Amino acid sequence: MGSLGDFQFPLNNGLSNMANGATTNPLDPEEFRRQGHMVIDFIADYYKNIEKYPVLSQVEPGYLKKRLPTSAPFYPESIETILGDVQEHIVPGITHWQSPNYFAYFPSSGSIAGFLGEMLATGFNVVGFNWMSSPAATELESIVMDWLGQMLRLPKSFLFSGNGGGVLQGTTCEAILCTLVAARDRTLRIIGNENIGKLVVYCSDQTHCAFKKAAQIAGIHPDNFKVIPTTLSSSFSMSPKALRNTITADVEAGLVPIFLLATVGTTSTTAVDPLGPLCDVAKDYGMWVHVDAAYAGSICICPEFRHFIDGVEGANSFSFNAHKWFFTTLDCCCLWVKDPTALTQSLSTDPEYLKNKATESKQVVDYKDWQLALSRRFRSLKLWLVLRSYGVEKLRGFLRSHVKMAKLFQGFVEADERFEVVVPRNFATLCFRISPSAITNNNAILSEINGSRRISDTSPKKMVTENELNNKLMDSINRSGRVYMTHSVVGGIFLLRFAVGASLTEESHVIEAWNVVKQQADIILNSHHSEF
């Protein structure tokens, strides 16, 4: 009998009704009800006991192949047996993104509403490529995208109630590629396809790598992918002046600027690009501007954070991931565009077998023409459930609580003279490190010790660098299993990122995380003394 915390798998002689051959229907309602209850209980107990597991999976590469059979079973196996194997073999290989002690990357926050919406979407299992294929799937998506756009106070030009509209993509990568292709084709229709080698796109050195991948797929020449350097002094924000200088040089060289990607909440440090001034530059050259707010877009439903997307009215498109910090579960990227026709001209197909009167009436949206794939999931159901189950004010409260916890952690860092905040905190992610002064003092001690060694001692202690020590700190924190953080390197600085946003996180977890950081820092800093 397998178990997960307090959950016990019921005895059934090792076979479910399905395995016994009691039903030959793979979607039998009563068997679905029985197994479905078991899976819900399993997941509920997983969340109840999630803190018992190391946050970062401790398995070695290839572990699962050693545990599972080399071929699929010929005869049915019971759900009890399968769930037992999930607990024994799968759970150890999971890095627990929903753990309250998860502070890595950016959050992938979940909720009961998001989970149940996903269940409904999976249960209906519609393939909503056009309006006819399931009218509710299309119309609900259009409605919730206008709801959410209103919550963000996006200009009406981005909403269906204006002349724009919103669509749910899988990820930001897809949103960027779709808008880039639209911008590419808009220009090529004017200058000719043979001039694709002249097209240039722009971003900062803090822009997510998804943009470079999109540019490769869209056929932008690698030399025409222009990166604007950023500096610590400007908190790694893109400089409009540097952008203009680069564009001017490119135009003089006979190139054609078409696309700028600006970011609100970069991955490394949550830096914010100045949207208004950047859009002003892009407008002078007729460029498409896409605003990537994958992480930080969520918090902009709070009035006190809305200023971070001031200037968005000058952009052509805007996106954020509801599956990051908006409790909607992967995958759900919200994309708005001012000119949906630009998307559909690049992405639409019209085969005979998809023709229908609704499409021909021009009164409906066919979302297949707003995305890369033809098939699409009923994602709007889970976003609808999240918006209805929690409401605007409660969602704001969730987000504000995460910012409050990030401020708490920031206070701990600032109160310890051994640490420093590397860049100003904008949202609920703090970038910090052991300060250079703490490491300098440590190296001074090592230097004194090394200087007193006998000549016969041929292995003096190596002076540790700031980046090496902070890298060692992060590794030791994560090996503890009690907390999980990730890092970045910006301006040559190795920093630790503490991202608050897991749905189960409370202040006690932040306090415990700081205790882990202090304990590991004590061990690392002291070890460089005690070895002599």
Distance, in Å, from the CA atom of 528 to the CA atom of 336, rounded to the nearest integer, reads 53
Q: Which two tokens stand for residue 462?
A: 């190596």
Q: What are phi and psi of 238, to 5 degrees?
A: -70, 135
- Beta carbons of 210 and 267 less than 8 angstroms apart: no
Which residue ranges form the domains of the chain, and what is each CATH number? 29-54+58-93 (1.20.1340.10), 126-390 (3.40.640.10), 399-452+461-527 (3.90.1150.10)
Q: 499: closest CA among 432, 430, 434, 433?
A: 430
Q: What are phi and psi of 8, to 5 degrees?
A: -115, 130
Three-class secondary structure of residue 159 per DSSP: coil
Radius of gyration of the chain (CA): 26
Instruction: Kindly list the averaged pLDDT for each block of 10 residues, start to end, along the chain of length 532.
Output: 49 47 78 94 96 94 95 94 96 96 94 95 90 90 97 97 95 96 96 96 96 96 97 95 97 97 97 97 97 97 98 97 94 96 92 86 90 90 96 97 98 96 96 88 48 38 76 94 95 96 96 96 77 40
- The reply to whether the predicted model has a pTM over 0.85 is yes
Q: Taken in order 83, 84, 90, 92, is the CA torsion positive or negative?
A: positive
DSSP collapsed to 3 states, 189-255: HHHCHHHHHHEEEEEECCCCCHHHHHHHHHCCCHHHEEEECCCHHHCCCCCHHHHHHHHHHHHHCCC
Count other Cβ atoms within 10 Å, centred on residue 253: 9
